[in-house]
Chains A and B, each alone.
Chain A
Amino acid sequence: MTGQNEPPGDETVALVGAPNVGKSVVFNALADDYVDVSNYPGTTVETTLAEMGEYALTDTPGVYGISSFDEEERITREIVLEVDTVINVVDATHLDRDLFLTLQLLDMGVPTVVCLNMMDEAEAAGLDIDVAALEDALGVPVIPTVAVSGTGLGEIPERLPEADAPAEPPIEEHFEDLPADLEANRREQTLLVEADEATAQTVADRSPSVADGGTPAYVEAGKRDAVYGERRDRVESIVDGVLTVGDQTDSWSDRVSDLMMNPLTGTPMALALLGIIYYLIGDLVAQRLVDLMEGVVFGQYYNPAVSEAVRSAMPAAGWADPLTFVLVNENLGLLTITVQYMIGVLLPLIVAFYLVIGALEDSGVLPRLAVLTDRGLSRLGLNGRAIVPMIVGVGCVTMAVITTRMVGSRRERLIATGLLGLAIPCSAQLGVIMGLLAGLGLVWWFGYIGVLLVVLGVAGVVLDRVLPGESEGLVTELPRMRAPRPSNIVRKTLNRTKMFFREAVPLFGATAIVVSLADYTGLLEVIEQVLEPLTAMVGMPTDFAQVLILGLIRRDFAAAGMTDMALSAPQVFVGLVVITLFVPCILSMVMIGKERDLKSGAVMWIGSWIVAFTVGGLLAVVFAL
């Protein structure tokens, strides 16, 4: 359990199941009150706690088995090792796949109730499941449900007291291979004979007799294969006894899925989808709605009113000047521009972004896009799953940094974040850049795109070679495609937005205070003077330094700062390339520090300076600026 704000229930219950089996919908239906939505401690994986009558209910990340192969599995394993009872949500259309986890829970001796969900889809697919026979075979309650319509869910709390597990698991004979004096309960013994390293380490840590020097192997190599193989045999036997498969034909979702993964049809479908996402986040929200919020709501009403109120409330004494400046200055005032960024810029972007991502997650589109783009991204040290942050980055890099969570290993997250921070212009910046390039002609626009693609490719290849380790290949299940469920998407969006702001507000507040103090003390002006030699190197006038300082705060500010400068066409081109490759905005940097670590953030920040001025300098030589 997370240990954070735990509800008062005496008994803990966890919802456990594979990804996309409807756990969220079941959780939503069973929960009386949400207590806490938070990252699991030390991770970026969300868990949710709620009250369910006398029980404390927690969800878990979707997994196909209890082990420690990735972060989601490690979290689920920790929860399952501690929890009193499990509600195992099983997809009735994937009985053969999901019963492995069910039998594993029962082998571990975890009292379990099975929620056999998506019975309507199973019926539509021609699958007939004998629920009574399945209940007999498993020896625990099996409740058929259709979670999206609420069918059968009321029976879950009623039958929870019947939760059970066989007293003598079929894998018990394997426990004899473990050292006789080992202090491990049945749940741990099961994972130990499955060669789960994290459990072995936990057991070793509390056994003083185990010598130091790495994780001990309590069973011989190959034991996991044997245990898994025997369990699969039991799954096959149960499925053969309870499942009757009728006539099956390809459904619409199968046909759409095949079209999406065929490059000839999938590429235009993906491009159309990207266009819609860009229109929704990059144009409708990032441009129109944010412009309205910044220009009218905050520019005309909120900021003037707050500034006036603070200035009239503060005493005229000199000591109050710095405080007043920090609170209401025009660059990053704590009560003015900072609030404007949070409410006027980030809130609409975040809600729109989470709605779109929620719809993509719910529909099953994302894994298909990953398949389509895997080959290209593998050349940059990434796999297909990295396509999501790249798409989102064109809307907002800050948001995209969050989505790098889904990319895979730490190595791939670093590469994806580095590429986002370096060469992906956000929509707000892109809008101004498009306006400036439109005045120069189409050839300059293609040149701009070409330079960015070259930088993106070279940076990806370099990062792939420099960073230690090897990239993970694509291994992802393709869930059935389905129409997104609005209630599910709205609930996810609300929870995620709430969690984002709870973590982000203190960080942005602290950043605003530091930048404002630097501004008040004249440090920002000093920075401007230091930058002047660099502007000369890229063939730009000295007042380009002011553009760069604006770029330190927000990328679109930098682009906007160039609109008033008297520049030749090559200077506009070089200037736009430099500010695109220049450092990520303050909000993105805060997010990079939070999602990765401060050291990685600092390396990316400094690397952006080097790349921006190296490329800008080369272009200046080419154009003889």
Chain B
Amino acid sequence: MERTLAEIGAGTAFEIEGVDDDELRAKLRRLGFLDGRVDCRNRLRKGPVVVSRHGTDLALGADVAKGIHITEVEEA
């Protein structure tokens, strides 16, 4: 089921399906966050989400997270 990054909690594994903002999509693609599984490392209530892939941690503000569409993936 597709959701936005703002709707998931810490510990969730997911893949990014789409990013509304072109520039942010380019930045995430460069860092490899559109290549596969990403983990939600921290989530502050109504605040930023910290996501992690291959050791790179990225903090995204709550409004930014609302524009990132994801699907959850099964734990390995």
The 5 closest A-B pairs by CB, nearest first: A474-B61, A473-B61, A473-B64, A375-B47, A478-B57
In the complex, what residues of A have CB within 8 A of residue B45's CB?
263
Task: Confirm or deny: B31 has a beta carbon within 8 angstroms of a beta carbon on chain A.
Answer: yes
Asked whether, in the complex, the Cβ of A383 is within 8 Å of the Cβ of B61, the reply is: yes
Say if the beta carbon of A370 comes within 8 Å of chain B. yes
Size of interface on A: residues with Cβ below 8 Å to B? 38
Chain A 92-145 residues near chain B, CB threshold 8 A:
93-94, 96-97, 100-101, 125
B59 lies within 8 A of A69 (CB): no
Quick check: is B8 within 8 A (CB to CB) of the other chain? no
Residue in chain A with minimal CB distance to B42: A261
Q: How far is it, in angstroms, between the C-alpha of A236 and the C-alpha of B36 when the chains are bound?
A: 11
A478→B58 contact, CB < 8 A: yes
Query: What 0/1 pattern do residues 535 to 548 of A give for CB contact below 8 A with B?
Result: 00000000000000
Flag if B54 contacts A97 (CB, 8 Å).
Answer: yes
Q: How far is the CA of A378 from the CA of B29 in the complex (A)?
A: 26
- Given known pairs A232-B35, A378-B61, A383-B61, the reply for A478 and B30 (CB within 8 Å) is no
**Minimal beta-carbon separation of B13 from chain A (angstroms):** 16
Bound together, the chains give a CA A321 to CA B6 distance in angstroms of 69
Q: How far is the CB of A287 from chain B (nearest CB, A)?
A: 35
Tell me if A367 counts as interface (CB < 8 A to partner B).
Answer: yes
A478 to B56 Cα, complex, angstroms: 8
Give the chain A neighbours of B63 by CB distance below 8 A: 378, 473
| 23 pairs, CB–CB < 8 Å, chain A vs chain B | A69-B23, A94-B54, A96-B53, A224-B26, A225-B26, A225-B29, A228-B29, A232-B30, A235-B32, A261-B50, A263-B45, A371-B44, A371-B50, A374-B48, A375-B44, A378-B62, A383-B61, A384-B59, A475-B24, A475-B60, A476-B58, A478-B57, A478-B59
A384 contact set on B, CB distance < 8 A:
48, 59, 61
Total interface residues in chain B, CB < 8 Å: 31
Other A-B pairs, 19, CB within 8 Å; known A67-B26, A228-B30, A375-B44: A64-B31, A69-B23, A94-B56, A97-B56, A100-B32, A101-B30, A228-B26, A232-B30, A236-B32, A258-B41, A261-B44, A375-B47, A375-B48, A384-B61, A474-B60, A475-B59, A477-B56, A477-B57, A478-B57
**Are B56 and A375 in contact (CB-based, < 8 A)?**
no
A372 within 8 A of B: yes
Structural contact, B59 and A370, CB atoms closer than 8 A: yes
Q: List residues of chain B with CB within 8 A of the CB of A263.
A: 44-45
Q: Which residues of A contact B30 (CB under 8 A)?
A: 64-65, 100-101, 228, 232
How far is B59's CA from A7's CA once the two chains are assembled, in angstroms? 40
Contacts of A150 in B (CB 8 A): none
User: Chain B interface secondary structure, helix, strand, loop or mixed?
Assistant: mixed
Q: How far is the CB of A419 from chain B (nearest CB, A)?
A: 19
Of B23, B32, B54, B61, most A-chain CB atoms within 10 Å: B61
Chain A residues whose C-beta falls within 8 Å of the C-beta of B57 in the assembled complex: 257, 477-478
Which A191-234 residues sit within 8 Å CB-CB of chain B? 224-225, 228-229, 232
Q: Which of A121-178 contact B (CB under 8 A)?
A: 125
How far does the Cβ of B72 sit from chain A's closest Cβ, in whole Å?
Answer: 21
**Chain A hits for B25, CB < 8 A:** 225
Which residues of the other chain, A, contact B46 by a CB distance below 8 angstroms?
Answer: 375
In the complex, the answer to whether B42 meets A262 with C-beta atoms within 8 Å is yes
Minimum CB distance partner of B23 in chain A: A69
Shortest CB-to-CB span from A109 to chain B, Å, is 19
Question: A477 to B23, alpha carbons, bound, how many Å?
Answer: 16
Check B44 against A372 for contact (C-beta < 8 Å).
yes
In whole angstroms, what is the CA distance A94 to B4 when docked?
26
The reply to whether A96 and B54 form a contact with Cβ atoms under 8 Å apart is yes
In the complex, the chain A residue whose C-beta lies closest to that of B57 is A478
> What distance in Å separates the Cβ of B17 from its nearest Cβ neighbour in chain A?
14
Q: Which of A64, A235, A474, A476 has the most chain B CB within a 10 Å cutoff? A: A474
- Taken together as a complex, chains A and B put the C-alpha atoms of A476 and B58 apart, in Å, by 6
- B4-26: CB near A (< 8 Å → 1, else 0) gives 00000000000000000001111
CB distance from A492 to the nearest CB of B (A): 24
Q: Which residues of B contact A232 (CB under 8 A)?
A: 29-30, 32, 34-35
Q: How far is it, in angstroms, between the C-alpha of A378 and the C-alpha of B66 when the chains are bound? A: 15
- Whether B27 contacts A374 by the Cβ 8 Å rule is no
Q: Which residues of A contact B64 (CB under 8 A)?
A: 473-475
If A96-B54, A97-B54, A375-B44 touch, does A474 touch B59 (CB 8 Å cutoff)?
A: yes
Most buried by A among B42, B44, B55: B55
Select the residue from A125, A258, A478 with max chain B CB neighbours within 10 A. A478
A97 and B31 in contact (CB under 8 A), knowing A67-B26, A477-B57?
yes
**Docked CA distance A232–B59 (Å):** 21
| Chain B residues, CB < 8 A from A477 | 31, 56-59
* B59 → A minimal CB distance (Å): 5
Which A residues lie within 8 Å of B48 (CB)? 371, 374-375, 384, 474
- Shortest beta-carbon distance from B2 to chain A in Å: 19
For A370, what are the chain B residues with a Cβ–Cβ distance below 8 Å?
59
Q: Which residues of A contact B35 (CB under 8 A)?
A: 232, 236
